[in-house]
Structure 1
Amino acid sequence: MTDPAVQPGFTRFLMKSKLGAGRDFQVLDPQTEQQLYLVDGKIGPRPKAEVLDAAGTLLYSVRGQLLGIPKKLTIADAAGAEVATLKAKKFSVVKDRMDMEMASGEPWHVEGKLIEKNYTVTSGGRDVVRISQKWMTVRDKYSVEVADGVDVGLALAVVWAIDRWVERD
Structure 2
Amino acid sequence: MYVIREKFFSIGDDFDVLDANGAKVLHVDGKVLSVRDKVVIEDLSGEEVASVHRHLVSLRPTYEIRIGGEKAAEVKKKLFTPFREKFTIDVPGPDDLEMKGDLLDHEYVIERGGSRVAEVSKRWLTIRDTYAVEVAPGENPLLVIGAVLALDLALEREEKKKEKKDKD
- Compute the TM-score of the two structures, normalised by the length of structure 2: 0.80
SS in structure 1 at match of 2:29 = strand
Matches within 5 A, 1:1-169: 12-17=1-6, 21-22=11-12, 24-31=14-21, 33-41=22-30, 42-65=32-55, 68-70=57-59, 71-79=61-69, 81-90=70-79, 94-169=83-158
Partners of 1:92 and 1:98 within 8 A in 2: no
Partners of 1:83 and 1:104 within 8 A in 2: no
- Partners of 1:123 and 1:109 lie apart in 2 by 7
Partners of 2:75 and 2:147 within 8 A in 1: no
Partners of 1:90 and 1:98 within 8 A in 2: no
Higher helix residue share = 2
SS in structure 2 at match of 1:155 = helix
- CA-based RMSD of the aligned residues comes to 2.3
Number of equivalenced pairs: 155
Q: CA deviation at 1:125?
A: 2.0
SS in structure 1 at match of 2:64 = strand
Unmatched tracts of structure 1, length 5 or more = 1-11
Partners of 1:14 and 1:27 within 8 A in 2: yes
Q: CA deviation at 1:59?
A: 1.5
- Partners of 2:43 and 2:123 lie apart in 1 by 26
Q: 1:153 to 1:69 in 2, by over 3 A?
A: closer
- Compute the TM-score of the two structures, normalised by the length of structure 1: 0.79
Unmatched tracts of structure 2, length 5 or more = 159-168
Per-residue CA deviations over 1:32-57 (Å, capped at 9, x if unaligned) read x1101122232211211112122222
Q: 1:129 to 1:103 in 2, by over 3 A?
A: same
